[in-house]
C-alpha cells in the first residue's frame, strides 16, 4: 500500500504541455497508489511538447465537462508555454481549479503552469515560484514570488522548471497526505 492509496488526482492540461511535467508527477503519484486522471477541455488525445518540439500524444481520461472536482483530492497543472495559455481561456478549467482552492485541497503547478492560477483570482498574498518569465504576471496578480526550487503555501505547491520535479513531486505527495489546507487570510 502506498502513501496515497485511495486518493484520486486530476492533472488538468491542454495541448502543448511540457511532457515531463505531466509524466513525472503522474508516475510519482501512481507509485504511491493514487489514481491519476488526465482532465482536459479537449477530448480524445492531446499532444505534449518535449523540450524543443512536439512530443507524444496522451489519452484524455475525462473531458472537463464530464469531470467533477469533488471526485479528486488534488489538482496538478503542468507547464509548457502553450498549455497554460489555452487553459486560462477555458472558464470550465478555471472553475475546476478554483474548486480546489475553495475546498482547501492541494493545487500544484510547475514552470508556466502557475500562470493559469492567475485566472482563479486566488493568488493574492500567496507565496509562489514559477518559470522566471511568469514572475511579473504573478506579482501583478498579488502573489509573493521567490526563486526557489519549490514553494509550498497552505497546500499550494509551485516549482520553476523540470529540474525541480523531484522536490515538486515529493512536496505534492506530502500535501495530499495532509489532506485539507486552509488558505491564509488576506492581510
150 part of the active site: no
Bridge partners of 83, per DSSP, are none
Bridge partners of 109, per DSSP, are 77, 158
* Residue 54 host element (H or E): strand 53-59
Residue 17 near residue 80, CB atoms below 8 Å: yes
For residue 117, what is the DSSP state?
H
112 part of the active site: yes
C-alpha cell at 123: 493568488
* Residues contacting residue 166 through CB under 8 Å, at least 6 positions apart: none
Residue 13 near residue 77, CB atoms below 8 Å: yes
Please report how many Cα atoms fall inside a 13 Å half-sphere around the Cα of residue 36, on the Cβ side.
Answer: 24
Q: What is the spatial distance between Cα 159 and Cα 47, in angstroms, rounded to a whole number?
A: 22
- Among 112, 150, 154, 181, which one carries the catalytic annotation? 112
List active site positions.
111-112
Amino acid at each position: 500500500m502506498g502513501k496515497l492509496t485511495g486518493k484520486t488526482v486530476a492533472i488538468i492540461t491542454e495541448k502543448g504541455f511540457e511532457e515531463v511535467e505531466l509524466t513525472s508527477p503522474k508516475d510519482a503519484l501512481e507509485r504511491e497508489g493514487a489514481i491519476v486522471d488526465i482532465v482536459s477541455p479537449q477530448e480524445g488525445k492531446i499532444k505534449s511538447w518535449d523540450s524543443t518540439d512536439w512530443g507524444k500524444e496522451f489519452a484524455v481520461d475525462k473531458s472537463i465537462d464530464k469531470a467533477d472536482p469533488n471526485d479528486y483530492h488534488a489538482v496538478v497543472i503542468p507547464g509548457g508555454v502553450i498549455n497554460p495559455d489555452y487553459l486560462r481561456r477555458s472558464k470550465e478549467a478555471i472553475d475546476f481549479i478554483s474548486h480546489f482552492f475553495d475546498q482547501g485541497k492541494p493545487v500544484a503547478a510547475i514552470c508556466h503552469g502557475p500562470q493559469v492560477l492567475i485566472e482563479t483570482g486566488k493568488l493574492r498574498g500567496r507565496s509562489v515560484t514559477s518559470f522566471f518569465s511568469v514572475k511579473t504576471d504573478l506579482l501583478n496578480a498579488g502573489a509573493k514570488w521567490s526563486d526557489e526550487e519549490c514553494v509550498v503555501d497552505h497546500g499550494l505547491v509551485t516549482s520553476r522548471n523540470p529540474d525541480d520535479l523531484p522536490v515538486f513531486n515529493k512536496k505534492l505527495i506530502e500535501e495530499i497526505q495532509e489532506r485539507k489546507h486552509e488558505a491564509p487570510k488576506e492581510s
